Amino acid sequence: MAQILVVDDEIGIRELLSEILADEGHDVLLADSAGDARRQREAKRPDLVLLDIWMPDTDGITLLKEWASNGQLTMPVVMMSGHGTIETAVEATRIGALDYLEKPIALQRLLSTVKRALRLYDLAAPRRLSLAALGRSPTLVELRKRLQQLAQASAPLLLRGEQGMLAEIFARPLVAPGAPFLCDAGFLADAPSEVLQRAGGGILFVADLTGLQRAEQKNLEFLQARADRHRARVVSFSPVDAKTLVERYQWDAALVARLGELTLRLPALREFAEDIPDLAAQMLAQLVEARACPARRLSVGALNALRHHRWPGNLAELEHAVKNLALSALDEEVTLQDAERVLAAHAREASAPALPLDRPYREAREAFERVYFENLLSAESGSMSRVAERSGLERTHLYRKLKALGLPVGRREEG
């Protein structure tokens, strides 16, 4: 059976839950505070945590946020409270809690919740990045609000952004807790009736429309036409616009229009750079949790270096760099020198970007300009005066050009 950690500052609650869960055959761990819970979680890696909200040292919501931001929310968490509100339950679910139990906890409600949590949570599944505890940048805060709003809709949603955005992490907040999320494109080769049965009440996610062959496009069209009957929703991602999907990738224009009934632009990683340290820490913690690397931690210097890198490959490139650091660093603490070594290698790999020479002149010119100004901004550490000087553009014209290309404006120096 499972190993369950019960966290509650009331000894009576701990003993009661321990007795009930032990009678069901579970191995029960007990913690009377957030500090104790941290130690137990680190030492024992429980399969499930029952976490009280009100505790004397750190409240349960804060501890849940901490685990989420550190990449340590690798087990289902069920919150408990005798003074809960709907707002608290919603907040806990948004952060990553699976469910919410109100005290006094009914026996059958406890057992059914524990059974469902252990059944739904695949302990062998790879741990995923989460937006729940992120939001230092205004850009990501706004995006999360839009995702919360769009989660209430049922129409097909098309996510648009640059390559390497790992769009799945932006699609997962759209699905209700416990609802199915089918994200392997292999489902397009399965029997449509079985796919729709599995996806009922949840989401069918296609990670990259440009990678689908004609037969897969036809299967997606069939699923989309019948998704409403099964309360399923199609969410997809494309790194190119609708016109390019039709002209270059041979998509049916009517199908593209249906898939993009709602459209949301995903900002590039450089647009929410303030969240890069938390993202990198999550990625590293997941590697450590999975025992894919020795124990590692990122120094402040390393985190700052990651934050100031341009990341033309977005989240996929950041993930690759963090894995490289985790496996190549000689000490437990990843230093600034480690980060500079890995980032220099990434810069060499990206020094000769492939330009879209097969595109129409206007698109190819825009792609060249984007690469040109990205390199200038990186080389001049975001100094707008030096970028203007090197590019030969008047500064007002430069600001307009960067805005038109969707690039962030760098530092504005006085004088």
Q: Which residue is listed with tokens 């989309």?
A: 224
**163 assigned to some structural domain:** yes
The first and second tokens of residue 218, run together, are: 């036809």
With CA atoms as reference, report the closest residue to 370 among 398, 407, 395. Answer: 407
Domain boundary among 120, 153, 170: 120
The first and second tokens of residue 374, run together, are: 């990205």
357 has pLDDT over 80: no
**128 assigned to some structural domain:** no
With CA atoms as reference, report the closest residue to 210 among 246, 238, 242. Answer: 238
Domain boundary among 265, 288, 320: 265
261 has pLDDT over 70: yes
Q: Which of 200-204, 232-236, 269-273, 361-365 has the lowest mean pLDDT?
A: 361-365
**415 assigned to some structural domain:** no
* Choice between 184 and 154, residue whose per-residue pLDDT is larger: 154
Whether residue 16 is found in the same domain as residue 82: yes
Tell me, what CATH number does 220's domain have? 3.40.50.300
pLDDT value at position 399? 82
Whether residue 150 is found in the same domain as residue 257: yes
How far is residue 369's CA from residue 355's CA, in Å, rounded to a whole number?
A: 10
Whether residue 238 is found in the same domain as residue 345: no
pLDDT average, residue stretch 93-120:
89
Domain boundary among 67, 88, 120: 120
pLDDT value at position 379? 66
How far is residue 267's CA from residue 199's CA, in Å, rounded to a whole number?
A: 28
Whether residue 249 is found in the same domain as residue 334: no
C-beta separation of 32 from 8 below 8 A: yes
Bridge partners of 30, per DSSP, are 6
Whether residue 242 is found in the same domain as residue 279: no
Tell me, what CATH number does 294's domain have? 1.10.8.60
How far is residue 75's CA from residue 123's CA, in Å, rounded to a whole number?
A: 8
**410 assigned to some structural domain:** no
Query: Which of 262-276, 279-293, 348-362 ranks highest by mean pLDDT?
Result: 262-276
Whether residue 259 is found in the same domain as residue 288: no
pLDDT value at position 123? 47
Q: How many domains does the chain have?
A: 4
pLDDT value at position 350? 57
Whether residue 277 is found in the same domain as residue 187: no
**Number of CB atoms found within 10 A of residue 251's CB:** 22
Its domain, for residue 152, covers 138-265
pLDDT value at position 347? 73
pLDDT value at position 127? 59
44 has pLDDT over 90: no
pLDDT value at position 130? 81
pLDDT value at position 14? 95
Q: Which residue is listed with tokens 């003993």?
A: 15
Helix (H) / strand (E) element for 237: namely strand 233-238
Angle (nearest 5°) at CA 127 between 124 and 129: 165
Our measurement of the distance from residue 76's CA atom to the centroid of its chain's CA atoms, rounded to an integer in Å, reads 17
Whether residue 35 is found in the same domain as residue 116: yes
Whether residue 256 is found in the same domain as residue 306: no
How far is residue 137's CA from residue 248's CA, in Å, rounded to a whole number?
A: 35
235: phi then psi, degrees, rounded to nearest 5: -125, 135
C-beta separation of 261 from 128 below 8 A: no
Label residue 224 by pLDDT band (50, 70, 90).
Answer: very high
Query: Which of 39-43, 129-133, 238-242, 394-398 ranks highest by mean pLDDT?
Result: 238-242
**179 assigned to some structural domain:** yes
368 has pLDDT over 70: yes
pLDDT average, residue stretch 21-32:
95
What average pLDDT is seen over the chain?
A: 88
Whether residue 174 is found in the same domain as residue 240: yes
**354 assigned to some structural domain:** no
Q: Which residue is listed with tokens 């990205």?
A: 374
User: Per-residue pLDDT tens for 318-334?
Assistant: 999 999 999 999 999 99
Whether residue 251 is found in the same domain as residue 292: no
Whether residue 335 is found in the same domain as residue 382: no
**411 assigned to some structural domain:** no
* Choice between 355 and 146, residue whose per-residue pLDDT is larger: 146
User: Per-residue pLDDT tens for 158-194?
Assistant: 999 999 999 999 999 999 877 889 987 678 888 888 8
**15 assigned to some structural domain:** yes
Share of the chain above pLDDT 70, in %: 92
With CA atoms as reference, report the closest residue to 242 among 223, 226, 257, 225. Answer: 257
pLDDT average, residue stretch 339-348:
85
